[in-house]
Structure 1
Amino acid sequence: MRITVFGATGGIGQEVVGQALAAGHEVTAVVRDPDRLPESMDHAAIHAVARLDDPAAVRTAVAGRDAVLSGLGSRGRKADGIAERLTGRIIDAMDAEGTRRLLVVSAVPVGPVPVGEPLVDRLARKAVAAVLAEVYADLARMEAALERSATDWTSVRPPKLTDGPCTGTYRKVVGGAPVSSRAISRADVAHAMLGLIDDPAAVKQGVGVAY
């Protein structure tokens, strides 16, 4: 499969690239600064590297691809509209090239509260949402842009991210979130994204993932 990965130097992006290469996929990495690609990444196996700030390169990177995966997002509490803005750039490039399948990383609080969520988890969700209000507002606008687009999108919504290993064992809810979603590793988020590429039930849906 031919896959393009945006945010390939980030925690989830690196995992997507590594797991995709290990599975035998052809990978194009799109980053703001190619020099930031880690030495541990098998550059020889990557089909191409493009810069995110080069519109022509972005269009070339998504042209003829089977799927586009994005781990782009804020790295702190100040989102500055980065998820909405950069995802919009990806959507524009995909529209121009006729590429359809797009999977992005969002967050559990952007989606609906699970039925039967315990009070302690509801309170924790509200507390985190208050601290990261700007980040979640940016992600909500990103998801709204996805809904307006012509892409076959999926928004993968994890809770707190950890640096744990890829277990391949986690809960997944299409159109919602697992009850008491508290944590999941970046490696397992990447695993879920790759596994959802060919899942028709996940198209134009948010998918909650958590242990």
Structure 2
Amino acid sequence: MKITMFGATGRTGSRAAACLLQEGYEITALVRTPEKLPPSLAEHPHFHVVQGEVRSENDLAKVFDEHTSLVYSALSTDKSDTLSAAVPLIIHQMKHYNIRRIVTIGTAGILRARSNPDIFRFQSGESKRKMTRAAEEHASVFKSLKDSGLDWTIFCPTYLPEGDASDNILWEVDFLPSGGSRISTGSTALFTCRHLWEKQFFGKRVGLAESD
């Protein structure tokens, strides 16, 4: 089964790519700087690299075809509007090739606030972050996907330090689960890979944490 991937050079994306390859998927990844890829990915026979920019329609067209089954995005905000600019272009390519399923890595800031479920966590006192630009970028992606008509899932990890996977993963649809204040990049990658096709997560934000 073929996956088109974005963000494969990132902390979570590189771990997710390794996990997906272990599961037997074939990946075509659009990568701005191939030199940043771990050798284990760059040299893998089922990991195909296309160098390009995610905000370029011409470059995006090179990583999609009628055999793509799923899109996986671990794109970061890149301290710019890269994320909010790229996702509508990705959605356009998906619709062109009739690809239904997209999984993305978001942030816990765009989950619903427990104190007021009508607003995002980053708009409430539940979020400890003073800067909201990144969360606003992810909120824009949420709106784009919600309006797309696609089968999307946004996995929303809380504080995300580098680390290997564990089995102590907590999850909750639309909210950040209680009992955890962090989740490693390895655990985030593992959980998303295990639940790529989880029907109950279609059209949902899924909060992720590891039990303290």
Q: TM-score, normalised by structure 2?
A: 0.85
From 67, 72, 78, the counterpart of 2:70: 67
Report the residue type matching 1:127 in the other structure.
K
Distance in 2, Cα, partners of 1:52 & 1:210 = 33
Structure 1 residues 118-133: aligned runs within 5 Å: 123=125, 125-128=126-129, 130-131=130-131, 133=132
The secondary structure found in structure 1 opposite 2:183 is strand
Distance in 2, Cα, partners of 1:73 & 1:100 = 22
Please name the residue that 1:119 is paired with: none
Write the deviation string for residues 13-65 of structure 1: whole angstroms up to 9, x where unpaired. Answer: 10111111112211212211223322232523234212342534423423222
* Residue 34 of structure 2 corresponds to residue 31 of structure 1: no
Distance in 1, Cα, partners of 2:57 & 2:43 = 22
Q: Is 2:42–2:49's contact at 8 Å kept on the other side of the alignment?
A: no
Distance in 2, Cα, partners of 1:24 & 1:66 = 13
* Residue 44 of structure 2 corresponds to residue 44 of structure 1: yes
Write the deviation string for residues 156-189 of structure 1: whole angstroms up to 9, x where unpaired. Answer: 1001111111113300112322025421011111
Write the deviation string for residues 113-144 of structure 1: whole angstroms up to 9, x where unpaired. Answer: 247xxxxxx75x4331x23x111111101110
Distance in 2, Cα, partners of 1:105 & 1:84 = 13
Report the residue type matching 1:37 in the other structure.
L
Deviates more, 1:144-153 or 1:51-60: 51-60
Please name the residue that 2:83 is paired with: 83
- The structure that is helix-richer by fraction is 1
Please name the residue that 2:187 is paired with: 188
Distance in 2, Cα, partners of 1:4 & 1:19 = 14
Distance in 2, Cα, partners of 1:59 & 1:99 = 13
Please name the residue that 1:204 is paired with: 203
Report the residue type matching 2:109 in the other structure.
P
Distance in 1, Cα, partners of 2:105 & 2:145 = 12
Please name the residue that 1:118 is paired with: none
Q: Is 2:34–2:51's contact at 8 Å kept on the other side of the alignment?
A: yes
Deviates more, 1:156-165 or 1:83-92: 83-92
The secondary structure found in structure 1 opposite 2:8 is coil
Report the residue type matching 2:60 in the other structure.
V
Task: Give how far 1:11 is off.
Answer: 0.7
Task: Give how far 1:110 is off.
Answer: 0.9
Q: TM-score, normalised by structure 1?
A: 0.86
Q: Is 1:95–1:150's contact at 8 Å kept on the other side of the alignment?
A: no
Report the residue type matching 2:201 in the other structure.
A
Distance in 2, Cα, partners of 1:12 & 1:52 = 20
Cα separation, partners in 2 of 1:113 and 1:181, compared to 1, 3 Å: farther
Q: Is 1:114–1:179's contact at 8 Å kept on the other side of the alignment?
A: no
Give the length in aligned residue pairs. Answer: 200
Structure 2's unaligned 5+ residue stretches are 116-123
